[in-house]
Amino acid sequence: MSDALDEIAELEELRRQAEQLSRRFAAGDRAAVESSAWDSHEVVRIALGIDGRIDAVEVLPGWRRHMTTDQLGAAIVEAADEAAHRRSEAWAYGVSQAATDDADARLPEQPSPVPAPTDPVDESSINYARSLLYVLRDSFARLDDLESETERLALSSSTTSDADGRVRVTLNGEQLSAVNFDESWLRSADARQLGAAVIDAIQQAYADRADPALLQNSWPYNELARMTGDPAQLLANLGLALRQAPRSE
């Protein structure tokens, strides 16, 4: 029984660390939401969604007074790079601030609810804890494979057009690296049409990059997601109940 309780204690520590990381990453995501930027000529604005992907492209009416047609693609890429840079900075600040808040919250006079094993711990909870530990260990053991796959996707390049073939965009990984236009269409298109066609091509490029065979969708990561997806159910399966830590006298 003591071995099983030791495993549950180890699992609880992993859970605590995972919750702390999740809290910090969520704070980073909140800080980075709605990131956007203009190019240096201030004729193109790029906005990023909560997932960090481009979800809006705005071209200023009268942009031709500020640049030639063959400069527009580079201006779009520049604005996208700047938006990504601002998002990265905001995300890092949010994570850092959450880490500071976590440190400030660890005060002895402010006990927080902590999960504790029910008494007694039944066999099903012990078996579930062991299963989850095995899945966690397998997940950590395959992190190198996951890193390699992520690097492969980050370095891969793809070029996609919008539905009408007026705009071609190139992605290196998730990063926009080139935008090219059909010259005859570009000469007559207005700013709204330009923005709509570019975002159409970019969204199509993202869709084309979807890969159902990604490692994180396979064992053990899919099993880890299934077992930990519902925090309340996870605690119940482990025979853990939230109770208030005793106050120090």
pLDDT digits (tens, 9 = 90+) for 1-45: 456 556 666 666 666 666 666 667 677 677 767 789 999 999 999
Distance CA 79, CA 41 (A): 10
Q: Tell me the percentage of the chain whose pLDDT exceeds 90.
A: 36
pLDDT confidence of residue 18: 62
Pairwise pLDDT comparison (117 vs 141), residue with the higher score:
141
Instruction: Band the pLDDT of 114: cuts 50, 70, 90.
Output: very low
pLDDT digits (tens, 9 = 90+) for 209-245: 755 455 556 777 778 778 877 777 777 787 765 444 4
Residue 197 neighbours by CB under 8 Å, 6+ apart = 162, 164, 166, 167, 189
Distance CA 90, CA 7 (A): 38
Please answer whether residues 186 and 72 qualify as being in contact, where contact means their C-beta atoms are separated by less than 8 angstroms. yes
pLDDT confidence of residue 100: 74
pLDDT digits (tens, 9 = 90+) for 48-93: 998 889 999 999 999 999 999 999 999 999 999 999 998 888 877 7
pTM of the model: 0.62
pLDDT digits (tens, 9 = 90+) for 180-200: 999 999 999 999 999 999 999
